[in-house]
Structure 1
Amino acid sequence: MRAAVLMTMRRQYADLVRLAYLALDDGRTPAADLLTTARHAVRQAARATNSPAYARLRHRLIVDILTTAPRHRPGPLFFEPAPDEPGPVREQVRRLSHHERLVYLLCRLEDLTAPEAAAELADHLLVNAWDVDRTLQDIDAATDLDAQAQRAELRAFDPTLVRLRPPPALSRRGRTAIVLAIVAVAIVSFLSYGRYTTSGKAGDPVTVAANVWRRGYAPSLNDWPTQGAQRGDRALLRRAAQAWRNDRRDPPLGPVSIMYAGNVDDATVVIMHDAPGTRDSPMVAQYFERRLSRGVESIRGLGIDSGQFIMIGTTWRYLVPPWISDISAALPLLSKPYWHPVGVRDGVTDRLPWRWFDPDCQTYMVFQMQYRPAPLPPRKITLFASPTPESGTPLIWFRDPDPHREGTGFTGEPGQWATIRAVACESVTSLSDVGDLRVGRLWSGDLPDDGGRATLTSIDVSVPWGTTGTAFLIGEDGRVLTGGGTTNSDYASAADAIAGTVWWRSSSRWHVIAAAGPGIAALKVVGELGEQEARRRDGSGTLLIATGPSVHGKSPQLTRLPVVRVIVYEPDGDRTLIDPG
């Protein structure tokens, strides 16, 4: 098998190196460093793959590039890439983001279709065929070249062509200084290597240095540095890890990493997480040592790797990572958000008084903070957190009506706060089981029969992945005015292509309310109310309100709602059925 892999590598080596080189080329890294990094990535992919098939080698290479923060290696000492003048296509590709370069190269360089490229990256990147087509169209418009011409320029580039590097014109003293500098840098790099395993017994818990999270663009649970005054107490860390391993119900999978070890109020606390791999979600365990007791007191399955807050026991304090700052909290029960700053010391927040929480509102608080992943600029995010350590901390994102922009956290809009109140206080969804939330505004306006103003809102969840979204009509005061209808969306859907429908009851009769974004061509109501249709106009959204049965007067007693469905027509002719509930 290894011989077959090596034979395939000899035949396809140039193609794989070209793909890796162009995927990593941002226009700023020297060509020699890029070549060394690309060759190393190809060798790593070959070692990790037991199949000689080119598609398997390419898939492994793409996964490594996508999931590993780029660490460019210094170029070779004795040779360098041949002189190269990039054409218009490569100049435009350099301006793309890391992920956009990958989807573009899979289509133009590797001849994959847009759905095939999206499927290739689906396990590690939230991207669909529409996103791939948008990237391709941007390059087409920027270069004014067709796909064949773009492919020809990319394949004409051969990064494996090299030439001997001319010897440096340095004196003996200068060469000695360079050698000493290289040795010094190697020693410092070795001593400051971020992640290390505590020395001693095999299987000891892992501690993470403070600077590890700064190396990637999206720090995860594995980058969470070990915090707390007692993080160097190896005996304490071993006791905590062993207590978790002895748990018969939820023992850790894989190595145990320490997130915090220190004194919180009247107890010594060790917070840990396991590393089960890609097939299972990680768990977080909390070990306490008090005057009369010790042991693991809570184990929380994250479900997703984006949990940013961890409630510490019942202390009303939270453990937060260093890439979170400027934290403030507000009660969702109030009609307006009143944000209270929350201090953080060594990763642990100040104590939040219990009087802030209200049992009538699922005992959830709303937190707002700055998310600062190095080296990207900070952005504001919003999440829910509970005083129960076993509960999740779902992020809440509001879809931007412009599909070219990412979603945002809470920006201060009254309609966003009304949605937050509805989610937390009206039991729109179970916050402990859904992962992150993505909220979209389908329509805002006046309801018929003088029903006041309301917003038709779509709510999608990230766990379980691919779950169909729900639609609710929410009043300006945050009250949910309807039961849950269905949408054509899920967590990864484009903002302008979402449609939803609900039944709403006014003072006199029932109405079917359906709305869709500007990416939907038309909506049609079919069923026992007859057929009614509304089409998109001038690139704006579509609204359709169908009048239903009366609820008072001479009408007979209503025992059931009519059977109704809404057909969602997309511009390409595809159709989806949604139910008002």
Structure 2
Amino acid sequence: MQSHDTFRSSDISPTAPPRPRRNDAEAALVEHYPRLVRLAHLILPPAPGRHRRVLAAHALVQKSLAGAAPSLPGAASGPTVPTQRGEPGPVFAWLRERIVSAALRAAARPGWPLGRSPLPAVLGLRLFPRAGGDDELALEAALATVTPEVRAAFALRALEGLSSRSAALLLAAAGVSAPDEVLRAAERLRSTFGADAESLLRGVEFDPCTVQARPTDLLRRRHRTRLTALVAAVLFSASAAAVLTVGPEPPTPAPPVSALAAASARATDPRFLLRAPAEQWSDTARVDLTQWPARGARTGDTALLSRALDAWARRTGVRVAFTPGTPTTPPAAPARLLFAGPVDDSAVVLLHDGGRIIRYAEPLTGRGGAVLELARADDADVTTGAAVSVSRTPLGARFLLAPWIDESAVRDLLRPDVPARALAVSADGVTDPVPGTPGDCRRVPALQVRSSTRIVEDHSFLLADLGELSPAHLTWSPAPGTGAPARQPREATSAAGLTSLARSACALPGLRGTGVRAVNRWEFAQQTLPEQAGRATWTCTRVESWDGRGRVVVAWEGPDARNRPVRVPGPTSEDTAACSRFGQHLLAGTYWTAPSGARYYLAAGSRALTTVTARGPVSAAVRGQVLAVRTNATGQVRLTGTVPGSGELRGWGEEQRESDGS
């Protein structure tokens, strides 16, 4: 796991920091006071309100001096061991450990923050940090959903820069029973915000030392002042024995809305929806879903947008569907509006929150219920962010095309020699229905689109509808000897690419509903068959998911295009680097029967292999990338190949068989 440590001197040793003298502790506290208060503020829960949370953070830090050793008579104030200003030492480590422990205890105590201990006195004012941007609000909302222990681990790693081991030691010293589990949860949260986590934590949203001041209820304060003056006058005029009965004090005004509530309110308010300018996509280096303008006839329909956002946030009275691996959390910050309008007897709203696409649809006729769909869209680009499904009917699926798509057509992947049929598109960018794929694979329709010359020249590509909000991007990597760069995926719209895809297109419907982002067909080897039986192709099809996983199918295809590919048995892992840029070498084998009836064992490897060796029922070795041995043997053959500079390469499935003991 990548480290984001920022303070070299802030790690802790396996032993507890020594107990410092009070003078030393006070000097360190004064020097690092803002940093320590920020740490305490991050750990404390937001529930009692921002004002009490700010005061509690300051109180915890100020009370941390109580555990320091008494100063020696005549000792000077300041650290005993001089350190360069700004570089924390053992005294700071001791203070930090005490503050983390105290904050965790306070957060776990009913009626927190400080039990009987008084908060710093602030009369007539309410204090709270300045409001940050959407990213800070999203982080605040995310932190509010986890435990104080996870917030502490998150702060120690992202803000304090501690290593995992040092953070675990500190958390254990603070009384956390399972620090490793807490750190894993913190790292999952940290990975959501990436490299921005540290800068966000250092923003004004999380700074309890730079606060705004607002008055409390002025009318209620004036009423209380008058009541106090009245009581004083009555007491002065009455005798000392007089008894005055005063009614109960008016209730304390409710605390201001928490940051989490404020973020949720903004996220579900259609007034805060993000909208890109209509032509922004044509003059930006970031051509993706963030550049889509809001389109459709009902982008100004506040009631419809409110129902869509409310359905996403509450998910009540609506049927919810999502692709595998898609987070179903409610909105944490204002989303981007992509579309709102009528499509096929439904009012449809499309939203994008940076990592997901959200589709809301309600019937225009009043019959039937509303539907909410969520799908991942991590790092969608010019191809994977080129179309989004807006409607599905028996006639097919309609897509909203990206503003940078100039041309669109439908073609049958099984008939590469048949030209694509032009697809009509409305003024809002919604296509006519694209037919689905029948169960008997009589046809496999795909979208063929072309990007505008305003962003790239002569760029056309294929998209396959797999029943999800975003169609899958189809590419291919040509076989060696075609003049193509090594393992360079390319668009499959050329005659050679279309012919290649036609051999494996019938496997695409089997990927429906599995969260597919892209499919690449790599022809890693071609082999001349014995007995002049023609030429075979070895392929590796890699299916990339939106969650980053990759599934692989290795197959052998004979010279007759009418025959289906023969799958080579191998690993069934849901995540592998094989056939990606991190797994660029491949070796596979299979038995084959020639037209004469003779039986052979065939093997082939990718272009970098220099030797292929077979052991077991078949024993043979050759120089080069392909092997063909006549044999009557059966059983599993153990293949190895040599890759210069990389050592020995095992055949496809060999590592799994070895781990299984077979």
Unaligned runs of at least 5 residues, structure 1: 12-47, 55-120, 126-199, 277-281, 537-541, 551-560
CA distance in structure 2 between the partners assigned to 1:224 and 1:403 by the alignment: 33
Displacement of 1:362 after TM fit?
8.5
Displacement of 1:431 after TM fit?
4.9
Amino acid at match of 1:217: A
Displacement of 1:421 after TM fit?
2.5
Equivalent residues of 1:394, 1:431 under 8 A apart = no
What's 1:442 paired with? 524
Equivalent residues of 2:414, 2:444 under 8 A apart = no
What's 2:173 paired with? none
The partner residue of 1:259 within 329, 335, 338 is: 338
Displacement of 1:445 after TM fit?
4.8
CA distance in structure 1 between the partners assigned to 2:417 and 2:448 by the alignment: 14
CA distance in structure 1 between the partners assigned to 2:587 and 2:509 by the alignment: 18
Deviations 1:181-232 (A, max 9, x none): xxxxxxxxxxxxxxxxxxx976224232234444643433333322112212
Aligned in 2, Cα 1:445/1:201: closer, same or farther, shift over 3 Å?
closer
The partner residue of 1:290 within 364, 387, 394 is: 364
Displacement of 1:442 after TM fit?
2.1
CA distance in structure 1 between the partners assigned to 2:297 and 2:385 by the alignment: 23
Aligned in 2, Cα 1:391/1:566: closer, same or farther, shift over 3 Å?
farther
Unaligned runs of at least 5 residues, structure 2: 1-31, 39-82, 88-156, 164-190, 196-264, 322-327, 655-662
The reply on whether 1:207 has 2:288 as its aligned counterpart is no
Matches within 5 A, 1:44-59: 50-51=159-160
Displacement of 1:485 after TM fit?
4.2
Q: Partner of 2:303: helix, strand, or coil?
A: helix
Equivalent residues of 2:577, 2:583 under 8 A apart = no
Displacement of 1:394 after TM fit?
1.4
Displacement of 1:396 after TM fit?
1.5
User: Highest CA radius of gyration, 1 or 2?
Assistant: 2
Amino acid at match of 1:340: R
The partner residue of 1:490 within 578, 601, 620 is: 578
Equivalent residues of 2:578, 2:584 under 8 A apart = no
Deviations 1:94-137 (A, max 9, x none): xxxxxxxxxxxxxxxxxxxxxxxxxxx9x999xxxxxxxxxxxx
CA distance in structure 1 between the partners assigned to 2:461 and 2:390 by the alignment: 21
Amino acid at match of 2:623: R
What's 1:533 paired with? 621
- How well do the aligned residues superpose, as a CA RMSD in angstroms? 4.5
Aligned in 2, Cα 1:546/1:413: closer, same or farther, shift over 3 Å?
farther
What's 1:562 paired with? 635
The reply on whether 1:458 has 2:540 as its aligned counterpart is yes
CA distance in structure 1 between the partners assigned to 2:194 and 2:460 by the alignment: 24
The reply on whether 1:399 has 2:399 as its aligned counterpart is no
Aligned in 2, Cα 1:228/1:392: closer, same or farther, shift over 3 Å?
closer
Q: Partner of 1:424: helix, strand, or coil?
A: helix
Displacement of 1:296 after TM fit?
3.3
The reply on whether 1:312 has 2:390 as its aligned counterpart is yes
What's 2:237 paired with? none
Structure 1 runs (4+) deviating above 4 angstroms are: 1-5, 7-11, 248-252, 372-378, 400-406, 426-429, 485-489
Q: Partner of 2:307: helix, strand, or coil?
A: helix
CA distance in structure 2 between the partners assigned to 1:337 and 1:566 by the alignment: 41
Equivalent residues of 2:586, 2:652 under 8 A apart = no
Amino acid at match of 1:271: L
What's 2:135 paired with? none
Equivalent residues of 1:472, 1:502 under 8 A apart = no
What's 2:589 paired with? 501
Displacement of 1:322 after TM fit?
1.2
Q: Partner of 1:345: helix, strand, or coil?
A: coil
Amino acid at match of 1:223: Q
Deviations 1:415-441 (A, max 9, x none): x33432333314696254243112211
Displacement of 1:299 after TM fit?
1.4
Displacement of 1:524 after TM fit?
1.6
The reply on whether 1:575 has 2:648 as its aligned counterpart is yes
Amino acid at match of 1:343: A
The reply on whether 1:233 has 2:301 as its aligned counterpart is yes
CA distance in structure 2 between the partners assigned to 1:124 and 1:490 by the alignment: 26
Displacement of 1:275 after TM fit?
4.4
Q: Partner of 2:463: helix, strand, or coil?
A: strand
Aligned in 2, Cα 1:303/1:421: closer, same or farther, shift over 3 Å?
farther
Displacement of 1:237 after TM fit?
1.0
Q: Partner of 1:229: helix, strand, or coil?
A: coil
Equivalent residues of 1:524, 1:567 under 8 A apart = yes
Aligned in 2, Cα 1:495/1:325: closer, same or farther, shift over 3 Å?
farther
What's 1:379 paired with? 459
The reply on whether 1:302 has 2:386 as its aligned counterpart is no
Equivalent residues of 1:330, 1:340 under 8 A apart = yes
Q: Partner of 2:498: helix, strand, or coil?
A: helix
Equivalent residues of 2:385, 2:470 under 8 A apart = yes
Equivalent residues of 1:443, 1:457 under 8 A apart = yes
Aligned in 2, Cα 1:575/1:337: closer, same or farther, shift over 3 Å?
farther
Displacement of 1:573 after TM fit?
4.1
Aligned in 2, Cα 1:236/1:427: closer, same or farther, shift over 3 Å?
closer
Equivalent residues of 2:447, 2:462 under 8 A apart = yes
CA distance in structure 2 between the partners assigned to 1:442 and 1:455 by the alignment: 8
CA distance in structure 2 between the partners assigned to 1:391 and 1:9 by the alignment: 55
Amino acid at match of 1:228: G
The partner residue of 2:409 within 328, 331, 339 is: 328
CA distance in structure 2 between the partners assigned to 1:9 and 1:465 by the alignment: 44
Deviations 1:390-416 (A, max 9, x none): 3652111222554478421114234x3
Displacement of 1:479 after TM fit?
3.4
CA distance in structure 2 between the partners assigned to 1:380 and 1:494 by the alignment: 26
CA distance in structure 2 between the partners assigned to 1:337 and 1:9 by the alignment: 74
Matches within 5 A, 1:506-517: 506-507=594-595, 508-517=597-606
What's 1:73 paired with? none
Deviations 1:222-264 (A, max 9, x none): 3332211221222221122212333265655434432211122
What's 1:40 paired with? none
Equivalent residues of 1:225, 1:321 under 8 A apart = no
CA distance in structure 1 between the partners assigned to 2:476 and 2:290 by the alignment: 27
Displacement of 1:564 after TM fit?
0.8
CA distance in structure 2 between the partners assigned to 1:405 and 1:467 by the alignment: 16
The partner residue of 2:563 within 473, 479, 503 is: 479
Displacement of 1:374 after TM fit?
6.8
CA distance in structure 1 between the partners assigned to 2:439 and 2:504 by the alignment: 15
Number of residue pairs the alignment of both structures matches: 387
Equivalent residues of 1:332, 1:361 under 8 A apart = no
Aligned in 2, Cα 1:368/1:301: closer, same or farther, shift over 3 Å?
same
Matches within 5 A, 1:176-187: none
CA distance in structure 2 between the partners assigned to 1:484 and 1:347 by the alignment: 46
CA distance in structure 1 between the partners assigned to 2:443 and 2:359 by the alignment: 22
Aligned in 2, Cα 1:271/1:412: closer, same or farther, shift over 3 Å?
same
CA distance in structure 2 between the partners assigned to 1:428 and 1:314 by the alignment: 16
Aligned in 2, Cα 1:501/1:275: closer, same or farther, shift over 3 Å?
same
When the two structures are superposed, what TM-score results if normalisation uses the length of structure 1? 0.56
CA distance in structure 1 between the partners assigned to 2:551 and 2:613 by the alignment: 20
Deviations 1:467-512 (A, max 9, x none): 4633212345263241234599635327964444344343424433
Q: Partner of 1:368: helix, strand, or coil?
A: strand
Q: Partner of 2:511: helix, strand, or coil?
A: coil
Seq. identity, %:
18
CA distance in structure 2 between the partners assigned to 1:287 and 1:374 by the alignment: 33
CA distance in structure 2 between the partners assigned to 1:573 and 1:312 by the alignment: 48
CA distance in structure 1 between the partners assigned to 2:423 and 2:495 by the alignment: 22
